[in-house]
Amino acid sequence: MTKKKYRLLFLSTPVGALGSGVGGGVELTLQNAAKALIAKGHEVEIVAPEGSVTDVAKLTQIAGNMQTSAQTQVGANMVVLPQNSVLENMWNYAREVQDQFDLLFNFAYDWLPLYLTPFFNCPIAHWISMSSLSPVMDAMVSKISKLFPDAIAVNTRACADTFSNGDRLMIMGKGIDLTQYNFVAKPEKPSLAWVGRISPEKGLEDAAEAAQTTGLALHVFGLIQDQGYWQQIKASFPNAEIHYEGFLSTDKLQQKLGQSSALLMTPRWVEAFGNAAIEAFACGVPVISYRSGGLTEIVRHGKTGFLVEMGSVLGLVEAIAQLDQIERLTCRQQVEAEYSLEVWGDRLEAWFEKLINPEV
Ligand code: UDP
């Protein structure tokens, strides 16, 4: 029997244009999922807010006002949509074209697409990229996962466990395109890296303090989402050598990241996954992270990095002093074994098959 080729419509995050960095890790996740499935012969179209850029698949841009980021809505018990909402407009487009597709793949961390699931003829797969943040979203995840078992996926067990019915969620992991990252056996000089949106939940201040204590340069990569927070960090650690490198393309990011002795990941929230960790591994860079959330399922303590108690700058500093125990090649090997696009593509394909042909 010849294998079925699926027509897939991906709906990007409505918080910002694809390629802007506002969406954080979900932007890379969506594009890698498209690559993985196209490589298996499936057809992908991406729907994303106006101003988006991508070269991985056909792109349809939709106008409208952006959605407020869920991480600023912690504890919310109501849903807020702006007038002429891009999220509403994207899902209106999806409704109009749904008959041309076998499955819709939702990347919005939002109430509306979940709610719409029973109203569409076409099956919908939902990618929930962050941990539980608000009761209103948690309740809708719970409701839809009951009505549509297998329709909702998260990255890690740790992320699933933050939801009230987390046992109903699929654990799908991640994949990255390893051909985009060059392995660096030894950086030219010792330095630290920090990668992510510059926003309080990501905890950059702890990395800045560790840099100040060790005297190592800290290279910071990512979009400044909160200017006040960023200025405060620079003022609080005047003796830290902090270099802000900007928000870089994957290629430029990996070139510079590969030159780091370690990536510090210091999130203050339950990080659902942490794309930056596997990108660092792909360059041969060990990860020193807090022992929390998805990162505990990624970093192998003492082998590909170190896990330290959340908020412990001393822990970070002690781990930095032990970096010579880590073989950089082991980091690259872990990512090759666990996070390749091929393996992830197989998993996504099997998931979609279940949703498209539930009776089989
Ligand atoms: N990133 C990037 N360029 C940069 C800094 C970061 O493309 O200069 C991307 C990085 O590749 C990763 C994402 O930003 O995919 C951050 O994702 P992560 O899962 O680590 O955190 P999130 O922002 O989703 O909380």
For ligand 1, mutation pick of 195, 224, 287, 299 (most atoms within 8 Å of CB): 195
Residue 227 half-sphere exposure toward CB, CA atoms < 13 A: 0
Q: Which atom, in ligand 1's list, is nearest to the CA of 28?
A: 15
Task: Give the per-residue pLDDT at 183.
Answer: 98
Tokens of 325: 């125990």
Q: Tell me the pLDDT tens digit for each residue of 333-357.
A: 999 999 999 999 999 999 999 999 9
Q: How many angstroms does the Cα of residue 25 sit away from the middle of ligand 1?
A: 5
- Is any atom of ligand 1 closer than 6 Å to the C-beta of 195? yes
Q: Tell me the pLDDT tens digit for each residue of 225-255.
A: 999 999 999 999 999 999 999 999 999 999 9
Is the pLDDT at 360 greater than 70? The verdict is no
Task: Give the per-residue pLDDT at 2.
Answer: 52
Query: Among 64, 146, 73, 148, which residue's Cα sits nearest to residue 111?
Result: 73
Q: How many angstroms does the Cα of residue 114 sit away from the middle of ligand 1?
A: 25
Average pLDDT, integer, range 323-336 = 98
Residue 7 half-sphere exposure toward CB, CA atoms < 13 A: 9
Query: Among 162, 256, 226, 198, which residue's Cα sits nearest to residue 24?
Result: 198
CA 327, 329, 334, 335 dihedral sign is positive
Q: Tell me the pLDDT tens digit for each residue of 72-116.
A: 999 999 999 999 999 999 999 999 999 999 999 999 999 999 999
Distance from the first to the final alpha carbon of the chain:
15
* Position with higher pLDDT, 2 vs 121: 121
Is the pLDDT at 132 greater than 60? The verdict is yes
Q: How many angstroms does the Cα of residue 196 sit away from the middle of ligand 1?
A: 5
Task: Give the percent of the chain with pLDDT over 90.
Answer: 97
Contact 87, 146 (CB under 8 A): no
Is the pLDDT at 3 greater than 80? The verdict is no
Q: Which atom, in ligand 1's list, is nearest to the CA of 29?
A: 15
Residue nearest to atom 25 of ligand 1 (CA): 24
- Is any atom of ligand 1 closer than 6 Å to the C-beta of 267? no
Task: Give the per-residue pLDDT at 38.
Answer: 98
- Is any atom of ligand 1 closer than 6 Å to the C-beta of 34? no
Q: How many angstroms does the Cα of residue 253 sit away from the middle of ligand 1?
A: 10
- Is any atom of ligand 1 closer than 6 Å to the C-beta of 275? yes
- Is any atom of ligand 1 closer than 6 Å to the C-beta of 253? yes
Is the pLDDT at 216 greater than 60? The verdict is yes
pTM of the model: 0.95
* Position with higher pLDDT, 72 vs 194: 194
Is the pLDDT at 185 greater than 70? The verdict is yes
H-type helices in the chain, by residue range? 25-38, 86-97, 111-116, 135-147, 157-160, 204-214, 227-236, 250-257, 275-282, 295-298, 313-321, 328-338, 341-356
For ligand 1, mutation pick of 129, 275, 279, 285 (most atoms within 8 Å of CB): 275
Average pLDDT, integer, range 134-158 = 97
- For 19: left if phi > 0, alpha if psi spans -120 to 50, otherwise beta; the answer is left
Is the pLDDT at 4 greater than 90? The verdict is no
- Is any atom of ligand 1 closer than 6 Å to the C-beta of 274? yes
Task: Give the per-residue pLDDT at 263.
Answer: 98
